[in-house]
Structure 1
């Protein structure tokens, strides 16, 4: 892992870890803030879940994914989870912000830009392969290499069979 990745991942993850801890500690406030989104989510789930439980799940997912990203473990998966939670936070904070004053509108815009920036950062981390090819690229090239090798082997075998037949018929 490069020095940049070693430093940048924990720096990016720290905001999510702190936010996840805050959501877990203040599940009632989080449930109230996320209420419109959580209500729709709980209605679409096949099992019964209250908004407070869903708020805890979101906080736990944010905390866990932030910790994984910070440690460099399952980084791409963790960053994808963080991108989803960050987008959700952006939407919720945008809707619930106080816009009655000029300061409130300014704070709303600043929070939105911060959340968009964090979402962009974790999206970059989600596609970062750390200089190694992705699994899809590896599989594609492995299949192409196997096809080349198999084709060459078939041609050699065909040539050997034809030679054997010519020798047997000619003899």
Structure 2
């Protein structure tokens, strides 16, 4: 791990750990804003997610706020410690979406100053989301799965071509050697035949 990563991960995680812990201890201030989002997201999650996941979702918004806070604490600790950092970053990114939609719906504000303040917070959360997505795909300087898969396929293709060329070259060598041996055997057979004929003629008494 580089020094930059060792510093950046805890810095990125700090806000989630602190705010998540507050939401777990005291979710009530967040419930009114979270209610409209929960009413829309929970049925969608239950419809899309597997049954074992959807059935475990809390029914009350208060418990949903606590669950989201707990996810932020767990994800923040994982990212900050580096243990399960990529999964932790994904967990934080997932928890940030409902948090942003619940807390910073600037388009619903009518008072200009409040609208502007909420818009700034909304954009700030989008920036955090971008940082979390980068952290989720950060391989710590090591080749990623996609690169390894592509590189492995290319290497296998190169090895296959190299093996095919080597096989063709060896086949040509074997064919040339076989032809040379056949020519040598044929020449030797002709010479032996001539010698045998000469010996046979020499043994005849009347010649």
Q: TM-score, normalised by structure 2?
A: 0.68
Q: 1:135 is matched with which residue?
A: 145
Q: 2:97 is matched with which residue?
A: 87
**Where does 1:11-160 land on structure 2 (aligned, <5 Å)?**
11-44=11-44, 45=46, 46=51, 47-48=54-55, 49=57, 50-51=59-60, 52-95=62-105, 99=109, 104-160=114-170
3-state SS, counterpart of residue 34 of structure 1: helix
What's the offset of the Cα at 1:99?
4.2
For structure 2, list consecutive stretches of 5 or more residues without a partner in the other structure. Answer: 183-207
What are the superposed Cα offsets for residues 56-107 of structure 1, whole Å, 9 maximum, x if unpaired?
3322221111111101123233222222322322221123899465653454
Indicate if the aligned counterparts of 1:17 and 1:66 stay in contact, CA closer than 8 A.
yes
What's the offset of the Cα at 1:113?
3.6
Question: Structure 1 residue runs of 4+, over 6 Å off?
Answer: none
Q: 1:5 is matched with which residue?
A: 5
Residues 102 and 147 from structure 1, CA distance in 2 versus in 1: closer, same or farther, beyond 3 angstroms?
A: closer
Are positions 1:164 and 2:174 aligned together?
yes
Indicate if the aligned counterparts of 2:17 and 2:76 stay in contact, CA closer than 8 A.
yes
Tell me, in whole angstroms, the C-alpha distance in 2 between the residues paired with 1:132 and 1:153: 29
Aligned Cα root-mean-square deviation (Å): 2.7
For structure 1, list consecutive stretches of 5 or more residues without a partner in the other structure. Answer: none
What are the superposed Cα offsets for residues 93-138 of structure 1, whole Å, 9 maximum, x if unpaired?
1238994656534542342243233223223322333333322112
